[in-house]
Amino acid sequence: MIRVLVVDDHPLFRAGLSGLLGTVADVEVVAAVGDGDEAVRRTIELVPDVVLMDLNLPGMPGLEATRRIVARVPSVAVLVLTMVDDDDSVLAALRVGARGYLLKGAVQEDVLAAVRAVAAGGAVFGRGVAERVLAGGRGSRGGGLTPELTDREAEVLALIAAGRSNAEIARELAVSLKTVQNHVSHVLAKLQVRDRTQAALRMRGLG
């Protein structure tokens, strides 16, 4: 069972998201709060598996709440779910320790997949977010992607960051599972990281 804490200042959205998650067999909503201070306090008290964090919160902003949660309870995965759609906010969220970033326009299946992925230790970006971060990371001064990545390897990395499994990547790119496994191995080796999560975060020098 994945225990989730929902953080959003809009009562209707908070209730709707909690209701949606409450219908899923492997997810339990342990609390739903409307501000950053309460988010930190309840996370420390309840130690959920995942915190769904909005950025625009009254009082303590979502970024600061995320930073404090990660510092105090590092086992908790913070997944940002917000209307804020700009690269600086994505990078800021990742730098303070968020394990994923989704926009509120994401479909139900993407939200649930992201919750499961970060609960399992993965890093997840929505497709549009992943593609922008990836594009911005190539050759960036922040220590992003190395120029040795081929176009196909970069594409595989973007899909990894979007939370796709090897099998899903193989279907999407119309290649064999073995080919995807080879690409993933090459990406990990070239980025000098141990796993898929670190590879996703290294796109902008965050891992």
Q: Give pLDDT tens digits for 120-150.
A: 888 887 655 656 555 554 444 344 444 467 7
Residues of the chain with CATH 1.10.10.10: 131-204
pLDDT exceeds 80 at position 16: yes
39-43, 48-52, 67-71, 157-161: range with lowest mean pLDDT: 157-161
**Which parts of the chain are beta strand (E)?**
2-7, 27-33, 50-53, 77-82, 100-103, 124-125
Report how far Cα 194 is from the mean position of its chain's Cα atoms. Answer: 18
What is the rounded average pLDDT of the residues 80-94? 83
Distance, CA of 121 to CA of 12 (rounded, Å): 29
Give CA–CA dist 104/116, Å, rounded. Answer: 17
State mean pLDDT over 188-197. Answer: 78
What stretch(es) of the chain map to CATH 3.40.50.2300? 2-122
Q: Is the pLDDT of residue 46 over 60?
A: yes
Name the CATH topology of 2-122: Rossmann fold (3.40.50)
The confidence score (pLDDT) of residue 142 equals 40
More confident residue, 96 or 7: 7
DSSP state of 194: S
The yes or no reply on domain 131-204 and CATH 3.20.20.100 is no
- pLDDT reported for residue 139: 41
Given this model, what pLDDT does residue 127 score? 59
Average pLDDT of the residues of the chain? 84
DSSP letter at 110 equals H
**CA pair distance 207, 201, nearest whole angstrom:** 5
Tokens linked to 103: 């926009």
- Tens of pLDDT, residue by residue over 2-15, are 999 999 999 999 99
State how far the alpha carbon of 49 is from the alpha carbons of 44, 92, 139, 140, 181, in Å: 11, 22, 34, 33, 28
